[in-house]
Amino acid sequence: MKDIIKNNLENYGYTIVKNAFTEIETKNLISIFENPELKQFLTLDKNNCGFTTNDGKKDNLQNLLKSDSNMNKEIINHALSSFEKTKFFKENLSNFETNGWNGLRVNVPSQKFKNVCWHQDIQTPIENKMDIEDKKFYTFWIPFSSVNENNSIEIVNMPFTNKVFHNHYKINIPLPKIYRNSEIHKVKISLGDLVILNNSTFHRSTWNQSNFIRISADLRYTKNEKTSFDASFLLRMRIFKNKIKNLVKK
Ligand SMILES: [Fe+2]
């Protein structure tokens, strides 16, 4: 990994890589949307501002791309293989591999409930004991179009920390006090660019106020470096309460 990327991640918690995909590599990345099954529901805007669909087809689209669908998996696998073929990946990430926890995000205009609240990516694997939490990983956020302040994500400028708070992507909890005055970066990038986040960096999505559907991939890579995280008291309490709830259910 280039020093500038490493230093940005260490000091600011994130880094933006412009043109991580060359023009040809970008074409390969979005070629998946030429798939006839997707094409009946989705059109990529000619200026790459995002995707559009007919209002009547929104439900079919969301059904086709829901998290356990084959199409969802196909797009993620395509994103992983296109990314791993890039010059950027080969030069910077040759000793990295995916930890298997990847996701497709479909953010439809005006669907506020689809937003994710302030969270640290490490929090979910710790809470769900996913067995990937002891190896430091990075999230590579790759939108399949350009994004701006109307349909993007926000990131807190914060150095790497081992502390994991009780925030949750589905629960609207304010940022921990120590980060409330930190600078917040609203991501504005073009198709072919990407964002790399430490797994401890707070981020959230912004309500999509554009006219375009935003589709993005969260790809997670690790070089299997051991890290131990320190869950906050409130997070440990929630994990404990959920454990009790599950025991009572049984
Ligand atoms: Fe996240």
Non-local (6+) Cβ contacts of 105 within 8 A are 205, 214, 215, 216, 217, 218
Give the Cα separation of 41 and 183 in Å (integer). Answer: 38
Q: Report CA(24)–ligand 1 centroid distance (Å).
A: 28
Q: Report CA(124)–ligand 1 centroid distance (Å).
A: 9
**pLDDT at position 54:** 77
Condensed to tens digits (0 to 9), the pLDDT of residues 178-194 reads 999 999 999 999 999 99
Q: Report CA(218)–ligand 1 centroid distance (Å).
A: 8
pLDDT band per the 50, 70, 90 thresholds, residue 97: very high
Q: Report CA(116)–ligand 1 centroid distance (Å).
A: 8
Q: Report CA(44)–ligand 1 centroid distance (Å).
A: 24
Whether domain 3-249 has CATH 2.60.120.620: yes
pLDDT band per the 50, 70, 90 thresholds, residue 160: very high
Q: Report CA(121)–ligand 1 centroid distance (Å).
A: 5
H helices within 107-203, ranges in order? 123-127
Q: Report CA(248)–ligand 1 centroid distance (Å).
A: 30
The whole model's pTM is what? Answer: 0.95
Condensed to tens digits (0 to 9), the pLDDT of residues 6-40 reads 999 999 999 999 999 999 999 999 999 999 999 98
Q: Report CA(197)–ligand 1 centroid distance (Å).
A: 9
Q: Report CA(161)–ligand 1 centroid distance (Å).
A: 16
Owner of token pair 């937003």: 115
Give the Cα separation of 165 and 240 in Å (integer). Answer: 15
Read off the tokens for 64.
Answer: 């086709």
Q: Half-sphere exposure of residue 108, counting CA atoms within 13 Å on the CB side?
A: 16
Give the Cα separation of 143 and 156 in Å (integer). Answer: 19
Q: Report CA(188)–ligand 1 centroid distance (Å).
A: 17
Q: Report CA(165)–ligand 1 centroid distance (Å).
A: 14
Q: Report CA(119)–ligand 1 centroid distance (Å).
A: 6
Please, what is the average pLDDT of the chain?
A: 93
Q: Report CA(203)–ligand 1 centroid distance (Å).
A: 6
Owner of token pair 């805007």: 45
Whether 207 has a pLDDT exceeding 80, the answer reads yes
- Domain regions of the chain by residue span: 3-249
Q: Report CA(123)–ligand 1 centroid distance (Å).
A: 9
Give SS3 for 83.
helix
- Tell which residue, 225, 227, 164, 231, has the closest CA to residue 200: 164
Q: Report CA(200)–ligand 1 centroid distance (Å).
A: 10
Q: Report CA(152)–ligand 1 centroid distance (Å).
A: 12
pLDDT band per the 50, 70, 90 thresholds, residue 3: confident
